[in-house]
Structure 1
Amino acid sequence: MASMSRPLRKLGFLTIGLFDPAEPARGHAETLEIIELGERLGFDSAWVRHRHLQYGISSPVAVLTAASQRTRRIELGTAVIPLGWENPLRLAEDLATVDVLSGGRLNPGVSAGPPVHYDQVKEALYPASAETEDFGYGRVRRLLDFVEGEPATHFKGAEGFEEYSDVVQPHSPGLARRMWYGGGSLASARWAGEQGMNLLTSSVVKAEDPDAPLDFAAIQAAQIREFRARHPEGAAARVSQGLVVIPTDSATAEQRARYAEFAAARLPRTTSPQGPARLLFAPDLVGTSVEIADRLHAHAGFREVDEVAFALPFTFRHEDYVQILTDIATKLGPALGRADGGHLSG
């Protein structure tokens, strides 16, 4: 077994929160139950994805507000909010509100870029400004400024019986240090580092050099190193990795067969870059916790981090997620050297 360069410090998980469109309340309730289970199992963080006009979480801020009132310790994150759908000023207000309600546990992850299928949705989203909206890094910077307490207006003070602030309210001072950027390219890693953000990596990177070997782990490790080289905190800058891991320690024979079939169907996309952006996907890691730990210890990207937010497969059943999370907390975490490995509580 290859040795780890960093001891695992934070163990997290990520869920997309799928639901049946005929019964959306049940799917949302199950997402909250999974987050509560994560806290009982000793996870350090729970993260939710963001999906617009799909059958997944369209409003992670609202979901995490509910989660904040049903948990006490676990950190709550978004991975990630695509800012092309958001007004940075309004989002800053929402994020600060959830952070206050959660007692300072929110970890907002965001990304730049135009909304998916923008040509089909732009008239509904930005009917008067579709052609002039800025979807680049400037939009992220605006959000960061508002979260940090930069003025949003030139007016403040009393007006009649009402008092106005020139900065976003509520203001949550610690939130700015918990802002994350979801990136998969050298440029995004470099920019996030220069802004002093934290970096969310996932199971997707851009294979930007057509002449370089197609090695997902090496590409991801290079991006993490570039991020830290540009970050004011250097090697101490926070990075979280979000690969898909499916431990089978307590799985039934039926579950193990279904998990293997799921991973095999997705394997072809890991062998070559996909689409004009040359996206390269990491293979899903399926097996016992010992087997997965061996593969992670040898993974160049994993060896650069001390935080993870393992992604739950999108289309599994609720009972599958319970089994996977339990195995991650009680088997995989300790196998990865987490000193206070997951445990049931309460």
Structure 2
Amino acid sequence: MKKIGYLSFGHYRDIPGSHTPTARDALLQAIQLAQEAERVGVDGAFLRVHHFAPQHSAPFPLLAAMAQATERIELGTGVIDLRYENPLYMAEEAAITDLISGGRLQLGISRGSPEPALRGWEAFGYRTPEGMSVAEMAQQKAHVFREAIRGAGVVQADPQMTGHDGALAIDPLSPGLDERLWWGSGTRASARWVGEQGFNLQSSTLLTEDTGESFDALQAEQIAIYKDAWRQAGHSGEPQVSVSRSIIPLVTDEDHRYFGVRAQAESRDQVGHLEGGLARFGRSYIGEPEKLVEELAADAAVAAADYALVTVPNQLGVGYNARLLESIVTRVAPDLGWR
């Protein structure tokens, strides 16, 4: 059994063919799509978080609204860029959102991805400490955040107000949220760190390294390193892994019109330069359902994952994306043994 979720970037732009010309359209449709995805049997609705771009940014108000509009589907992020976050304020927001959802939050966090802003987190008031990399800055914030949602004391009490001088934790707390934290990893080295720390692992359609191997083989190696590090660290429970894929079953004339010409062009990995180094971008899976079953069955990383997150073209609207997800759930997943 494998969980199936979707990952939406929440793009909005007033261009021909867009069903999300404004931010409000994208936000309201995100709520509606979560409802439709739950109806067709999808397990998770995940939001990509970007800043200084016409996409989803601050996720917690939207996640809380999605929680109120649904009953079963898991709600998550992939990922929140911790460089931009106050870890204690975020701990309060996350706990409140998780309580509203009834414990359905699956929270992906990380250093974040390449972005349009130059050191944008500094505009939010967060400077990288002297001698610390931005990755280390995010890791330090992750430690503070996780300890806070676990109920650790984070500030000294004022005896005049509380009658004691002990430490105070954030309030409210949502028990179990700390076990549903995922770290977005783009390299084998960071995957090892994720396993050592005991986070679940999120790996997307981008790896910020390249060895010449196919994307799925390199990602499968990343997953194996993560699981080995988890075991060696002695963590309890089972490590969980999610991978993202672009999967478009060509079922209707509309599918062929939007994506048919892209099937061949995007059927291979791409390698490019990103942030001063080589990066490998995973291929898209576009084709008739039977063809997708054959191709996805050969994807080593998908086979090793517990959660497959399908990136959705949200600007095509709720109706189109609900049909796309239903095609995956009913015409692709069963033949792969995911259901």
- Structure 1 unaligned spans of 5+: 1-7, 340-346
Secondary structure of the 1:331 match is helix
Asked if 1:11 is matched to 2:4, the reply is yes
Q: Distance in 1 between matches of 2:175 and 2:30?
A: 29
Q: Distance in 1 between matches of 2:28 and 2:133?
A: 35
Structure 2 vs 1, CA of residues 130 and 205 (structure 1 numbering), >3 Å: closer, same or farther?
closer
Q: Distance in 2 between matches of 1:184 and 1:114?
A: 9
Q: Distance in 2 between matches of 1:298 and 1:91?
A: 39
Instruction: Say if 1:157 and 1:165, in contact at 8 Å, map to a contact too.
Output: no
RMSD across aligned C-alpha pairs, in angstroms?
2.8
Deviation at 1:324, TM superposition (A): 0.7
Q: Deviations over 1:185-214 (max 9, x none)?
A: 011111111111100111111334xxx433
Identify the residue that residue 92 of structure 2 maps to in structure 1.
93
Q: Distance in 1 between matches of 2:167 and 2:12?
A: 40
Secondary structure of the 2:52 match is coil
The 5 A counterparts of 1:19-30 are: 19-20=12-13, 23-30=22-29
Identify the residue that residue 201 of structure 1 maps to in structure 2.
203
Q: Distance in 1 between matches of 2:57 and 2:271?
A: 31
Q: Percent identity?
A: 29
Identify the residue that residue 191 of structure 1 maps to in structure 2.
193
Asked if 1:293 is matched to 2:293, the reply is yes
Deviates more, 1:114-123 or 1:90-99: 114-123
Q: Distance in 2 between matches of 1:23 and 1:14?
A: 19
Q: Which amino acid aligns with 2:44?
A: S
Identify the residue that residue 240 of structure 1 maps to in structure 2.
242
Deviates more, 1:293-302 or 1:96-105: 293-302
Q: Which amino acid aligns with 2:56?
A: I
Deviation at 1:271, TM superposition (A): 3.3
Q: Which amino acid aligns with 1:17?
A: G
Structure 2 vs 1, CA of residues 283 and 148 (structure 1 numbering), >3 Å: closer, same or farther?
same
Deviates more, 1:113-122 or 1:95-104: 113-122
Paired residues, number: 325
Deviation at 1:235, TM superposition (A): 9.5
Q: Which amino acid aligns with 1:19?
A: Y
Instruction: Say if 1:112 and 1:139, in contact at 8 Å, map to a contact too.
Output: no
- Structure 2 unaligned spans of 5+: 15-20
Q: What TM-score, normalized by structure 1, do the two folds share? A: 0.85
Deviates more, 1:278-287 or 1:309-318: 309-318
Instruction: Say if 1:248 and 1:286, in contact at 8 Å, map to a contact too.
Output: yes
Q: Which amino acid aligns with 1:42?
A: G
> Equivalent of 1:141, from 143, 149, 172?
143
Secondary structure of the 1:28 match is helix
The 5 A counterparts of 1:1-346 are: 8-20=1-13, 23-112=22-111, 116-119=115-118, 121=120, 124-126=123-125, 129=127, 132=130, 135=134, 136=136, 137-155=139-157, 159=161, 166-208=168-210, 212-231=211-230, 232=234, 236-249=238-251, 251-252=252-253, 254-262=254-262, 270-275=269-274, 276-313=276-313, 315-339=315-339
